[in-house]
Structure 1
Amino acid sequence: MDVRSVILMVGLSIALPIITLGASVHHEQYGEEPLDAMSDEITVEDSDEDREVEQNRRFVGYKSLLNGALYTHWGSNTCSEGSHLVYSGFVGGTWYTVKGGAAQYLCMPMEPEYSEYIPKTQSNSILQSSELQTPSKAIPAFHSQYQNTPVCALCQACGRSAQFMFPARLTCPSGWNKEYDGYLMTAKYDHQRTEYICMDKQPEVMEDTSKNVGGALLYFVETNTKTDVPDTYVGEKELTCSVCSK
């Protein structure tokens, strides 16, 4: 047996108890076949080459449980069951009327780390907090958070390598796991362009932020039925969304 095979077998003997536990949890949550069969011993009759191929295959399977796609849970500082919280923070972006800066919203950590800096404001890009622009006629869960700054969380979907935000859908395609659902939000039609994000249907916000200070503003999204959208879309209805992983 060569050195590489010895190292691989030692590594598997250390990782196997941890991975077996992860496989059990994964099976309970998602109803997939457990990976217990992968821990069966390789038969003596197998050649050294076959044994090495099988060991490598198993190691890849074990490792996949420890990895996972990243997604942002907008409007929540927690992650769905089966996902790992990387960090939580608040939603930030560029002031809604400026031409410069960036288009996307960011999930900013609560405790920033700085390196070297120059005192006083420079002629640089300025990051703002965001605000939910959801006044009295809005959906109740959002109206109560009017002009507040929503929170967010960066999550890792353990054992799932892909994630996608499905617009206008509350459910996920067959074989996909739903992380959360909510409403599409972005900048207002006559403001500077940003991006579409999926805000949780029960948005959580930072405390003491309803001061109407402006910033990176967030609005619901509706369809213009005067364009060539399908007849299944209804104007003046807020579009939903879901974030799914697989």
Structure 2
Amino acid sequence: MKFPYTIDLRPYTKISTLEKQNYGEGDGRMWIQELKIGQKEIKSLLVEVFLELNHTDRTVTESVMPLVTTNPRSNDLDLIRSQLEGLERKLKDMETRNADMTAKYNTLLLSNNNVLSTAGGTFVRWGRNECPGNDTELVYSGFAGGSRWEHTGAAAEFVCLPPDPDLNTKYTSSIAFMYGAEYNSNDFVPRAKNGDDLPCSVCRSTVSSSVLMIPGKSSCYDGWTLQYHGDLVAGDHAHKAATQYICLDEHSETLRAGYRNDNGKLFHPVKAVCGALACPPYQDNRYLTCVVCTK
């Protein structure tokens, strides 16, 4: 009796180098799924082989028991047993491969989660009350502020003040102060007039951990994502208070947080001065752009 089944294990036990390249580490789930499907089909074949083996045993026992050692059917039984043992070995091998691929996939998944958990770089968008939308979320929008322009020794940086402050009255000194930030030049017309107040928004990237403000550029370098670009601004060089450079959005807006032109924290467009500054590439008396990028 010939065994009626032709068993081809290649689709279940061998994945070509090309297929592995096509899958890649990132598609480990697809590879694991195909291994599992292969296992199920091999188990089904094992059941069929087992049933055929039992049927053949009964046939031999009932009809040709005296000739079992010499009948050619005994060779069929040996072949079936050999194939069954081979299937069992292949199944164990596939289970081992499945376990290995599952472990690799879990390692890659954990690594990917660790990378994603490092995202969350924050930046201030000066002049706007919303975030750019390039995989960012708004933390809060508020009012730009800082020290008064004529106070010697005052804090240098601009700050983005929230609209819902938590204040207290437990101190009595009057040494450090916070003022609103104002456009202090008609160069910003028509976006804003001299004395208009400056809005701001604090934004968080949901995919990037690094934030970079590049003065003198309006586009990001390769590999970085543009969040917004605009004009480089800072305080008046003749004022007593120190200041810092910030990137004012190209499409900045105004916010009437105060009721008059108070000349608090002031800013102006920044232009290049040749000498110690290399010219070219910079040009004397040309205003500088800026860009905020994430990665």
Which TM-score tier does this pair reach, normalised by the shorter chain? Answer: 0.7 to 0.9
Matched, 1:125 2:125: no
Of all paired residues, the percent bearing the same amino acid is 26
210 and 51 in structure 1: CA distance in 2 versus 1, 3 angstrom threshold: same
Matched, 1:176 2:224: yes
Q: Deviations over 1:11-40 (max 9, x none)?
A: xxxxxxxxxxxxxxxxxxxxxxxx973654
Amino acid at match of 2:263: G
Q: Deviations over 1:62-121 (max 9, x none)?
A: 45446321111111111112211011111010111112332111010011013x5237x6
CA distance in 2, matches of 1:224, 1:94: 26
Structure 1 residues 110-149: aligned runs within 5 Å = 110-114=163-167, 116-118=168-170, 122-135=173-186, 138-142=187-191, 144-149=192-197
Structure 1 residues 48-63: aligned runs within 5 Å = 51-52=102-103, 54-62=105-113
Question: Alignment partner of 1:61: what SS?
Answer: helix
Amino acid at match of 2:207: G
174 and 96 in structure 1: CA distance in 2 versus 1, 3 angstrom threshold: same
Matched, 1:220 2:273: no
Structure 1 residues 1-246: aligned runs within 5 Å = 37=27, 40=30, 42=32, 44-46=95-97, 51-52=102-103, 54-62=105-113, 64-65=115-116, 67-81=119-133, 82-114=135-167, 116-118=168-170, 122-135=173-186, 138-142=187-191, 144-191=192-239, 192-207=241-256, 209=258, 211-246=260-295
Question: Alignment partner of 1:45: what SS?
Answer: helix
> Higher helix proportion, which one?
2
CA distance in 2, matches of 1:235, 1:145: 26
Q: Deviations over 1:135-192 (max 9, x none)?
A: 2xx14344x3321111111111111121100111011101111000000111111122
RMSD value over aligned CA atoms? 2.6
Q: Which has the larger radius of gyration?
A: 2
Question: How far apart are 1:206 and its partner, in Å?
Answer: 1.1
TM-score, normalised via structure 1 length: 0.74
CA contact (8 A) 2:155 2:242 kept: no
165 and 228 in structure 1: CA distance in 2 versus 1, 3 angstrom threshold: closer
CA distance in 1, matches of 2:112, 2:269: 41
TM-score, normalised via structure 2 length: 0.63
> Higher strand proportion, which one?
1
169 and 61 in structure 1: CA distance in 2 versus 1, 3 angstrom threshold: same
- Matched residue count: 207
CA distance in 2, matches of 1:60, 1:149: 45
Amino acid at match of 2:163: M
Amino acid at match of 2:146: G
CA contact (8 A) 1:87 1:154 kept: yes
CA contact (8 A) 2:29 2:105 kept: no
Amino acid at match of 2:176: S
Structure 2: tracts of 5 or more residues without a match: 1-24, 36-94
Range that drifts further, 85-94 or 36-45: 36-45
